[in-house]
Amino acid sequence: MAPAGPCLLVAGGTGLVGAAVIRERLADRGWQGCIIAPVRRTPAFADPRLVPVVAPLTEAGDDDRVVAVMRERCGGARLDTYVSCLGTTLEVAGSREAFIAVDRELVLRLARVSFGLGARKAVLVSSVGASRQSGNFYLRIKGEVEDAMAEAGFQRLDILQPGLLLGPRSEVRRGEALAQKLAPVYNPLLRGAKLRRYRAIPAETVARAIVRLTEQSAPGKFVHQHDEIEALADGVDLKS
């Protein structure tokens, strides 16, 4: 039987932000949609509205499995929104090629899968400073993904550009762990519009903002940085 509410595809559902998005959405017991979650390992929590698709996600055959599970488990329903919370680091990935395979290629593959399943809205977690003209490899790839997503055909695209994400990770990121410890010291020093966007922000805050954005319908491309993300998480209507 098809879900009574909207269906979301959440990529990165076992990561820091993705898992928080799923928890936040499912915490609303009145929400009658479903979440398709392509993951490499089984999520730590279960819910009848959560449909994990456990696959390596390394080749096109994995995409076919996502499509098959969506059609089988969701009763012919169409996807409403693609949410990408995928992201790694060079340290974790081990090479630039492996980083690109996740942060660019997998993000865009699942975007194409979602669009083919009916999604016309997308929410992308990127990074503050992302630009395809950046001299920083990480930020350049993030910028390339933003540009590619803008050309993917979605009627509405929300791009979140948070600073450092705060919260416990299941994987070791040494540089990030140190930065998280220092965040209470440097966050108050980042004042004014140009600097505040670099403030660290809790992953749970980003997740609440994402859930709010999945409920928006006005067409267009919207970019959200630190202050807007916090406002969305607090329920402020940004009229977009």
pLDDT one-digit tens code per residue, 45-81: 889 999 999 988 887 788 998 999 888 887 778 899 9
Overall average pLDDT of the 137-162 stretch: 97
Name the residue with higher pLDDT: 110 or 171. Answer: 110
Backbone angles phi, psi at 214, to 5 degrees: -65, -15
Is the pTM value of this prediction over 0.75?
Answer: yes
The token duo for 27 is 């915490």
Residue 168 has pLDDT above 90, yes or no: no
**Over the chain, what is the mean pLDDT?**
90
pLDDT per position as a tens digit, 179-197: 667 667 667 788 888 899 9
* CATH no. of 7-233: 3.40.50.720
> Minimal CA–CA distance to 38: which of 73, 76, 3?
73
pLDDT per position as a tens digit, 196-239: 998 989 999 999 999 999 999 999 999 999 999 999 999 887 76
DSSP 98: H
**Buried/exposed code over 29-68 (b: 16+ C-beta within 10 A; e: otherwise):** eebebbbbbbbeeebeeeeebbbbbebebeeeebbeebee
Overall average pLDDT of the 100-108 stretch: 96
Instruction: Give, in degrees to the nearest 5, the angle at Cα 167 between 163 and 169.
Output: 110
pLDDT for the residue numbered 185: 66
Asked if 239 and 203 count as a contact pair (C-beta separation under 8 A), the reply is no
